[in-house]
Amino acid sequence: MGGMRTWSVPLHRFWLSDLGWAALGGILGLVFLVSVWSWLSPLPLAVLFRGITRGTPADAFKLTWLFGAGFFTAHLLWLPSSLSSFLGPGALVLSALLIALLATMWGLTAALTRRLLGPATLWGLPLAWTVLDTLRAAGPLGFPWGSLGYAWTPTPLIQMADLGGVALVGLLVALSAAALASGHRGAQLAVASALLLAAAYGLTRPDASDGTFQALLVQGNIDPRRKAAGRQPDELAHYLALTRSRLRTAPADLVVWPETAAPEAPTEPWVRQALAPLPAPLLLGAPTWDRGLRNSVYAVQGGQIRGRQDKRQLVPFGETFPARAALDSLYRAVFSALGLPALTGTVPGEVAEPLAIGRLRAGVLICYESTFPAAARTLVAGGANVLVTVSNDAWFGPSVGAEQHFQMGRVRAIETRRWWIRAGNDGISAAVDPQGKVVARFPRGVAGAFAAPYGLATSQTLFVRWGNWVPVLAGLGLLVLWRRRRGQIRCSPQTTGRSAHPVA
């Protein structure tokens, strides 16, 4: 019938196509970051990029949204279970909303690139993705999981991060996908040459000097649900017993306790008095009440507080609730439906400065902060000669989430060329050298105190000095492509007659 729209493909094939894009994204999500196959990430990305260039902006949004939904569903499989003990059935709702939001960011990036760049879309996509990944790690709602550069964490190419951060590695991943999608031999040879140079750079990095200091990393292995039910003084006694027992046989230059290890801050007399006999300097996580609740790390030596660092990058909707005061009624209704009290969240820290104890200048990254390149860069630029992370990954349970968290943090050591030592409540406790090599790693899910080497460094990498130069250049590259596209449209003979196709 003339007035009715006809389908170019049968309806069942239309649905299979949609499922195919989601499945392809799911495959990428499953091999991403912690898999030995993550180096193959450009292959499914190449299929996505090719699909984006073959349709309209609306088509690009749809297929990229489906691909992104599949990717983040697989990559964040741990999320619902890690939140369920806190949010109950609401964990599934929050996880679904987050995945939909992340997929929407990918979809909008693809659609805008297709709309604005037309025939230059394919080579604009790597630049656009580089900018997007940087923006996703910015601001109070930052969430850097799924940034493309982490795909090559197991390869020598990750060593390029000391030049331009994980963003530079992500740009190489995306350029590889674009070259594969182009089918152009010259472009493929050019990108392959760049990858060979990057691999040569990674393989020829000098070995890190041996760690000349010893840290004692203490795992309390305390169930976080027990902490949530109410803090108890015996938690401090537990950590003290583990620490003293090991220090008798293995003297240490530094002791590190995990995030919120102490039930109260060492500003409390009873806590400070209990810590005073320890013979080594201590970095410990503890809650602080200072114009609101803060997640802090204290430097303590001889019972005296040498400094405090508050967590600045808070977990969205876990530690911080955007527009909490303005949306008070909505939040209260949601909390009530989930059977939760009227949560107010944690106050973010205002200052990022290394904690100084003797020669030590510890750049402290509290849990979630270790996934943010800017956080480590700021501390090292401010004089940190070692990076220290305290964490509580027990919320992840036995899932891959804790390993993802650890591997993302490992890149901070490479970006800054600093030793990185990490103490987790139930693990992962480890020491990583400035080349990203794990030189000591201890079992999860056990209580204990473990000796690990570390060293001090004062040099500054190009990434520390120049920061986000890669996404800035990527943004400028997009601007150049867009202006060239506008010039081509103006000069086209079609503009004097029938309008040119908006994307072709």
Ordered DSSP codes for 375-442: HHHHHHHTT-SEEEEEE-GGGGTTSTHHHHHHHHHHHHHHHHT--EEEEESSS--EEE-TTS-EEEE-
The H or E element spanning position 296 is strand 293-301
Least Cα distance to 470 among 144, 132, 190 occurs for 132
Nearest-angstrom CA–CA distance, 220 and 438: 22
User: Cβ(110)–Cβ(61) under 8 Å?
Assistant: yes
Nearest-angstrom CA–CA distance, 158 and 289: 40
100 to 66, 108, 191, 206, 309: CA distances (angstroms): 9, 12, 32, 43, 34
pLDDT (tens place) for every residue of the chain, 504 residues total: 444 444 444 544 544 588 899 999 999 999 998 888 999 999 999 999 999 999 999 999 999 999 999 999 999 999 988 877 766 777 788 899 999 999 999 999 999 999 999 999 999 999 999 999 999 999 888 999 999 999 999 999 999 999 999 999 999 999 999 999 999 999 999 999 999 999 999 999 998 888 999 999 999 999 876 776 677 888 999 999 999 999 999 899 999 999 999 999 999 999 999 999 999 999 999 999 999 999 999 999 998 999 999 999 998 888 888 888 888 888 888 778 777 778 888 999 998 999 999 999 999 999 999 999 999 999 999 999 999 999 999 888 888 999 999 999 999 999 999 999 999 999 999 999 999 999 999 999 999 999 999 999 999 999 999 999 999 999 999 999 999 988 777 776 655 444 444 444
Contacts of 420 (CB under 8 A, 6+ apart): 386, 387, 388, 389, 409, 410, 412, 413, 431, 432
User: Cβ(351)–Cβ(297) under 8 Å?
Assistant: no
Longest CA pairwise span in the chain (Å) = 89
Nearest-angstrom CA–CA distance, 419 and 387: 6
Note the pTM of the prediction, 2 decimals: 0.91
What is the pLDDT at residue 493?
62
Nearest-angstrom CA–CA distance, 102 and 105: 5
b or e along 53-77 (b: 16 or more beta carbons within 10 Å of the residue's beta carbon)? bebebebbbbbbbbbbbbbbbbbbb
User: Cβ(48)–Cβ(24) under 8 Å?
Assistant: yes
CA 438 to chain centre: 18
What is the pLDDT at residue 502?
45
What is the pLDDT at residue 215?
97
Nearest-angstrom CA–CA distance, 335 and 84: 14
Q: Cis check for the bond before 489: say yes or no (omega within 30 of 0).
A: no
